[in-house]
Amino acid sequence: MDYHISKKVEQMAPSGIRAFFDLVLGMKDVISLGVGEPDFVSPWHIREKAIYSLEQGFTSYTSNKGMPQLRKQIAGFLKARYGLRYDPEEEILITVGVSEGLDLAMRALLNPGDKVLIPEPVYVSYIPTVEMAGGKVTVLKTDISNGFKLTPDQIDKAAAHGAKMLVLNYPCNPTGVSYTKKELTAIAKIVKKHELILVSDEVYDELTYDFAHTPFASLKGMKDHVVYLNGFSKSYAMTGFRVGWACGPRKAIAAMTKIHQYTILCAPINGQMAAQEALKNGNPQVQAMKREYNRRRKYIIGALNDIGLSCHLPEGAFYAFPCIKAANMSSMDFASQLLQKKKVALIPGVAFGSECDDYVRISYASSYENLKEAIARIQSFMANQK
C-alpha cells in the first residue's frame, strides 16, 4: 500500500544528532562524546525507590496531572530554592520529560501562523515541535561575537512584527551558555513590551557553574508570561525515568493538560515515585555530579584551546562548542573524519543550525579518562591537518 504521510512530517528533517549516531552504531572502541545525557547512573537510593515501588505493586496510571505528592514537592522545592510560587493543583503538570512539556506548550498555545522566536544555535527539537503545531519559526542568530547570547535588541526588532512566543533555553544545549539575572532582566523588559509568551527550558539549571541560576519566571512581572519547563533527566541523571514538569499560568497548564490526558494519560508511576525520592534526598548526589562536570569542563575547555580549537568557557550544562575553523573543513567532514580516523564521536555543528558549520558539540558527560584520551586523539587528528 502507498502510504501518504502527513506533508508536515515528510518535510521535517530527521534529527542531525540521530543521523550522525547511526554512523557510530556498530563501530568498536569509539569514544563517544556525542550523547547529551549524564554518564552517571541515577543515584542508588532513587533506583531503589523505583524498584521498591514495583515490589509494592505500583503499576497503575496516576492522575493525569501527575501524583499530587510529587506536584506538592515540586511546588515546595521551587519556593524554597527560587522563591517561585506555583499552585500544585492548577499550575503544575507532570510531563514525560521536558520533551513532552515542549510539545504540549506549542500545541496548546499556538495557532496556525503564529510567529515563534527561537535563538540559534538551537536544541534540535524546538523547530520541529513549533512547526508541527502550525507555528512559524523566526530564527535569531547568535554567534561567538556576542558570546552566543541573545540580545534584548534582537528580540525587540524581531518581535516588532507581531511575534507570539520566544523559546529560551539556558544553560543552553549546545553552547553551554547561560544568562545572569541582569541579562535576563533586560530580556524580560522586551518580553513585557511585546506581551510575549516565554517558553523557558531550564532542564540544565542545576548545572550552572559560575553564577546562580535565575528562573525566568522568578523575574519581576514575568510569572504570567512564562511556561517554565524542567525535569529530572539531567540534574539527577534520570533520563530513562522520563519525568519532567511544566509550570505556568492556570489557563496554559489547563490547555496543556487537555492534550496530555488524551495523548499520554500520565507520566510513568515508577518514574514519578523515583522523582519524589530525588527531590527528598537527591541533592548531595546532584552536587557531587556537578563538581565532577565542572572539573571536566575546566579540563576540556583548556585542552581544546591548547590544541587550536578555540572555545568559550560554557557557564552551564555539559557541552563544549569549539570552533573548528583551524581544521579547514565542514563540521560534518570534521565529525566523520574524526570518527573514521581516530574513533572519537562528536556532533557536527550543522545539527544545531545552518550557520553553525564552524563548530562541533562535544559532550563532557564522559569520564575524565575518556576525555583525556579523546583530546589526545583530536590533537593527533589536528596535527595531521597541517
Ligand X SMILES: Cc1ncc(COP(=O)(O)O)c(C=O)c1O
Q: Give the nearest distance from C-beta 323 to ligand X in angstroms.
A: 21
Kindly tell me which of 97 and 249 has the beta carbon lying closer to ligand X: 97
Q: Give the nearest distance from C-beta 192 to ligand X in angstroms.
A: 24
Amino acid present at 127: I
Kindly tell me which of 270 and 382 has the beta carbon lying closer to ligand X: 270
What 3-state DSSP class applies to 118?
strand
- Strands (E) in 156-295, as ranges, are 163-169, 197-201, 226-231, 244-247
Say how many CA atoms lie within 13 Å of 100 toward its Cβ: 28
Q: Give the nearest distance from C-beta 59 to ligand X in angstroms.
A: 22
C-alpha cell at 56: 509494592
Kindly tell me which of 227 and 303 has the beta carbon lying closer to ligand X: 227
Kindly tell me which of 100 and 357 has the beta carbon lying closer to ligand X: 100
Biggest alpha carbon distance in the chain?
A: 62
Taking the CA atoms of 281, 282, 285 and 290 in sequence, report the sign of the dihedral they define.
negative
What 3-state DSSP class applies to 242?
coil
Q: Give the nearest distance from C-beta 129 to ligand X in angstroms.
A: 10
Using Cβ positions, the residue closest to ligand X within the complex turns out to be: 97
What 3-state DSSP class applies to 357?
coil
Kindly tell me which of 67 and 229 has the beta carbon lying closer to ligand X: 229
Q: Give the nearest distance from C-beta 1 to ligand X in angstroms.
A: 34
Rounded CA separation 203/67 (Å)? 20
Q: Give the nearest distance from C-beta 36 to ligand X in angstroms.
A: 4
Kindly tell me which of 86 and 232 has the beta carbon lying closer to ligand X: 232
DSSP 92-157: EEEESHHHHHHHHHHHHH--TT-EEEEEES--TTHHHHHHHTT-EEEEEE--GGGTT---HHHHHH
Q: Give the nearest distance from C-beta 123 to ligand X in angstroms.
A: 4
Neighbours of 72 (CB within 10 A): 15
Kindly tell me which of 207 and 219 has the beta carbon lying closer to ligand X: 207
Chain residues in the site for ligand X (CB under 6 A): 36, 97-99, 123, 169, 173, 201, 203, 231, 233, 239, 244
